[in-house]
């Protein structure tokens, strides 16, 4: 399943500036704004397209009142989690992408995340040659 938002399409081609629709909600932008009608829409965009921001939000949402998290993988209550892409990001972590939508992210405990990373290491992307098996990284 792909998490692409229609708002994102044509992002690079669409004209920017007053009178053009907000990338998120379609409301015409005004004043000195370029892409978003409001700070809220700008925040939404950052929080769903940049991994750093999205991961922070996902962690914040998963954090319980007592400061602990529940791992989505094994349901253990843990003090520390890492944010995992449900659909692989294929190294796009530092790029603006719809792969970072918060619906495509989840929190995993460190052992679960490690196991998943290991499993993924055996999947090869179409452009990557199979690498030698190794026991440590
Ligand atoms: Zn908007
Ligand atoms: Zn776990
Ligand atoms: Zn998007």
| CA 58–ligand 2 middle distance (angstroms) | 16
Ligand that comes closest to the CA of residue 8? 3
pLDDT of 87 reads: 92
Residue 71: what pLDDT? Answer: 98
Q: What distance in angstroms lies between residue 50's CA and the mean position of ligand 2's atoms?
A: 24
Q: Please give the chain's pLDDT, 137 residues, in tens.
A: 344 565 555 555 677 888 888 888 888 999 999 888 999 999 999 999 999 999 999 999 999 999 999 999 999 999 999 999 999 998 899 998 889 999 999 999 999 999 999 988 887 665 554 445 555 54
Query: Are 100 and 8 a contacting pair, CB within 8 Å?
Result: no
Cα(97)–Cα(135) distance, rounded to whole angstroms?
32
Distance between CA 55 and CA 90 in Å, rounded? 16
Which ligand has an atom closest to residue 26 CA? 1
- Rounded to the nearest angstrom, the distance between the alpha carbon of 24 and the centre of ligand 1 is 5
- Separation CA 16–CA 92 (nearest Å): 25
Which residue's structure tokens are 């520390």? 80
pLDDT at 127: 57
CA 2 → CA 111, 120, 123, distances in Å? 26, 18, 18
At residue 3, the pLDDT reads 46
């Amino acid at each position: 399943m792909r998490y692409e938002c229609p708002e994102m399409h044509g992002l690079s081609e669409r004209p920017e500036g007053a009178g053009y629709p907000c990338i998120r909600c379609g409301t015409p932008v005004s004043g000195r704004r370029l892409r978003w009608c409001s700070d809220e829409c700008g925040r939404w965009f950052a929080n769903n397209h940049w991994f750093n921001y999205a991961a922070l939000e996902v962690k914040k949402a998963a954090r319980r009142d007592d400061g602990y998290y529940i791992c989505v993988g094994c349901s253990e209550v843990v003090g520390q989690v890492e944010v995992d892409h449900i659909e692989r990001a294929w190294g796009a972590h530092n790029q603006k992408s719809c792969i970072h939508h918060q619906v495509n992210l989840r929190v995993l405990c460190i052992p679960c995340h490690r196991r998943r990373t290991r499993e993924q290491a055996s999947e090869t992307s179409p452009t990557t040659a199979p690498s030698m098996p190794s026991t440590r990284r």
